Amino acid sequence: MRAGDEPDLVRVSLAADTVFADAGVELPPDDPRPLLAHADRVLVADGTDGRPCGLAATVVVDGHPHLEQIAVDPGHGRRGIGSALLSAVRAEAAALGHRRITLTTFRDLPWNGPWYTARGFAPLPRAEWGPELARLWEAEADIRVLPRIVMAREPA
């Protein structure tokens, strides 16, 4: 994330949220600024106009990278931007010697759980959660409007 990217990344995140509303999923209002401020890393994908059109935000949870959010502006969707962002997150995690990446997501929405499954993520049993991941899960209670799942995979 570069200085000055925040307004565009807020726009991207809010635009990406519209796909949930379009699918009939009612989520609480979201302000992505706190996420952008507390993320350990925010990777940015630029569109052909040079403005951000996608982001991947990670934090460290229980000593592992945790993917807080991948968001792609729907006007730039279905072009591999989300996959490229995920690949970049995985490459960084592998380069730093991490053994796994975790995330939480909606289990059944095609662009959530099934999308991550197709990219090598698998459900992470609760017995394998660390204390920080368990707290994060509880903190997300307000967005569990549909079944959610914790997933993990090795970075490489």
Section 102-120 average pLDDT: 97
Q: How confident is the model at residue 63 (pLDDT cuts 50, 70, 90)?
A: very high
Asked whether residue 78 carries a pLDDT value surpassing 90, the answer given is no
pLDDT, position 44: 97
pLDDT above 90 (res 48): no
- CA atoms of 35 and 23, how far apart (whole Å): 24
CB 41 within 8 A of CB 69: no
Does the pLDDT of residue 83 top 90, yes or no? yes
> Quick one: pLDDT at residue 73?
95
Residue bearing tokens 């209002």: 29
**Tens digits of per-residue pLDDT, 120-136?**
999 999 999 999 999 99
Rounded mean pLDDT, 77-92: 94
User: Cα separations (Å) of 142 from 52, 112, 136, 137?
Assistant: 28, 17, 12, 10
What integer pLDDT is reported at residue 72 of this predicted model?
96
- Report which secondary-structure segment, H or E, holds 149: strand 148-153
3-state secondary structure 95-119: HCCCCCEEEEEECCCCCCHHHHHCC
pLDDT tens digit string along 26-44?
999 889 999 999 999 999 9
As a whole number, mean pLDDT of residues 113-122 equals 98
Local confidence band at 79 (pLDDT 50, 70, 90 cut-offs): confident
* Average pLDDT score over the chain: 95
pLDDT digits (tens, 9 = 90+) for 66-75: 999 999 999 8
| Ordered DSSP codes for 32-92 | -HHHHHH-SEEEEEE-TTSSEEEEEEEEEETTEEEEEEEEE-GGG-SSSHHHHHHHHHHHH
Amino acid at 137: W
